[in-house]
Amino acid sequence: MHSSRHRKLIALLLCVSLLLLPKPAKASIPTHSQVVLIFVGVAAIGAAIGIGIYYAVRRNGAASITGCAVSSDAGLSLQREGDQQTYTLLGDTAGIKSGDRIRVSGKKRKEYPSGKRDFLVERLAKVYGPCKVLPATP
């Protein structure tokens, strides 16, 4: 008889414990506004990373231009691709040969009254080879 009560007591405790356990969590579907906020947050983080990388790579405001190097009265000039602007090359121009298509890094400078454009070369970034069509000497 002792074991019968013991079994009934264990069964009763088991039933009570099952009733007191927390109910399983139900998955809720996010609302439209929550989905929009998630996408906006992801886009903002991506934009912040992109802007950070852009400024890190830019290196203290150094610009780069690509074009064809030509000899001129003032020394070497670079006729930029696209808008055909001509820059007089100053600074480290030792590795630049007339007739080569190049990319240089440095700083742009424009004298406003004369409209003359100079480019202070800090480094020769890349030599692409000879220009396809040599520009006219400015």
Counting the structural domains of the chain, the total is 2
Residue 97 lies in a domain: yes
The whole-number average pLDDT for the span 44-58 is 84
Q: In the predicted model, is pLDDT for residue 60 greater than 60? A: no
Q: In the predicted model, is pLDDT for residue 111 greater than 80? A: no
Residues 67 and 112 grouped into a single domain: yes
Residues 76 and 52 grouped into a single domain: no
Residues 55 and 75 grouped into a single domain: no
Radius of gyration of the chain (CA): 36
CATH of the domain at 115: 2.40.50.140
3, 6, 38, 53 from 45: Cα distances, Å: 66, 62, 11, 12
pLDDT digits (tens, 9 = 90+) for 1-43: 567 777 888 888 887 877 777 777 778 888 999 999 999 999 9
| CA 54 to chain CA centroid, nearest Å | 4
β-partners of residue 79 are: 68, 86
Taking alpha carbons only, the member of 104, 95, 98, 106 closest to residue 75 is: 98
Q: In the predicted model, is pLDDT for residue 74 greater than 70? A: yes
User: Rounded CA gap, 35 and 21, in Å?
Assistant: 32
Tell me which residue range forms the domain holding 37: 32-61
Residue 69: the pLDDT is 92
Residues 41 and 70 grouped into a single domain: no
